[in-house]
Amino acid sequence: MAALGGDGLRLLSVSRPERQPESAALGSPGPGLCCWVSVFSCLSLACSYVGSLYVWKSELPRDHPAVIKRRFTSVLVVSSLSPLCVLLWRELTGIQPGTSLLTLMGFRLEGIFPAALLPLLLTMILFLGPLMQLSMDCPCDLADGLKVVLAPRSWARCLTDMRWLRNQVIAPLTEELVFRACMLPMLAPCTGLGPAVFTCPLFFGVAHFHHIFEQLRFRQSSVGSIFLSAAFQFSYTAVFGAYTAFLFIRTGHLIGPVLCHSFCNYMGFPAVCAALEHPQRRPLLAGYALGVGLFLLLLQPLTDPKLYGSLPLCVLLERAGDSEAPLCS
């Protein structure tokens, strides 16, 4: 909290002493109060999202189709109402984005095709090692695999599988909408874009702690293992959240983070230990290293804002008085 009220605020208040932010000219609350409003709004969204999963009382585990269907209903309602929180934040702070709310949240047509394809390609490059591992361990060849992927019957089975719908469609769409598209516009004027990339995922990581209660309730493992697993999950969900926040800011679109989220849910965390013991571990580990190297090399070029048109969050910060946000160029 203190960090949000300190260095982040100086990005807007000290770096441009000769130019008052537009929100100040409109007679809005001071920057300290604006930051508290932003943080409280993000906390409210995170609590509402997680709370919506528990409005249904059930003795069944989370993967039961009946539980998943009920949670679909509640989480879709909360996600649909989440833009209202951004509207309320705008009214309370007096910050005028200079663009429509939907555009600010990444719903726009300009640059949509590169925004859908390039971040997904970048993420697949990062997962080059796991993709090689998957192909090596798959009993079918490439032609058979493509037939299965392209078969309408396969997609029909997926669309009737509640777990698949949750992991590949509903969770990526609603989580990116709430934790990126709604939270980043509220945090960025307070912290600046760079700190927002690392602040926003903290809400996302903490939101996954609710799995602890379900695991303890159904005694799925020992208490120590459950908390160790939760700490690990918080770490990688926070890192992943920072990555998709970066993509959201650099592309100005929601579709890229959603597709990357869905892909990562499908792949899961890379099985590095299995790769170390794999019969073909040398080419496999080379694939892991090559994927990480290419990812770092292509991260900036494939997310160059020039590929995606004007960036709504950058426009927002320019109107707030910060015209030199490094992620905007």
| φ/ψ (deg, to 5) at 137 | -90, -5
Q: Is 208 in the active site?
A: yes
Could you give the dihedral angle defined by the CA atoms of residues 265, 267, 269 and 272, in that order, rounded to the nearest 10 degrees?
A: 180
Sheet strands (E) in the chain: none
Contact 127, 30 (CB under 8 A): no
CA distance 311 to 49: 27
| φ/ψ (deg, to 5) at 183 | -80, -40
Catalytic residue among 64, 208, 210, 278: 208
Q: How far is CA 254 from the centre of its chain?
A: 9
CA distance 80 to 48: 12
> Among candidates 230, 226, 245, 251, which has minimal Cα distance to 305?
251
CA distance 172 to 176: 6
CA distance 227 to 216: 10
> Among candidates 115, 254, 122, 249, which has minimal Cα distance to 192?
249
Other CB atoms within 10 Å distance of the CB of residue 130: 22
Grouping H, G, I as helix, E, B as strand and the rest as coil, residue 181 is helix
Q: Is 261 in the active site?
A: no
**In terms of C-beta density within 10 A (0-12 exposed, 13-18 middle, 19 or more buried), how is residue 261 classed?**
buried
CA distance 19 to 26: 13
CA distance 19 to 325: 16
Cite the active site residues: 175, 208
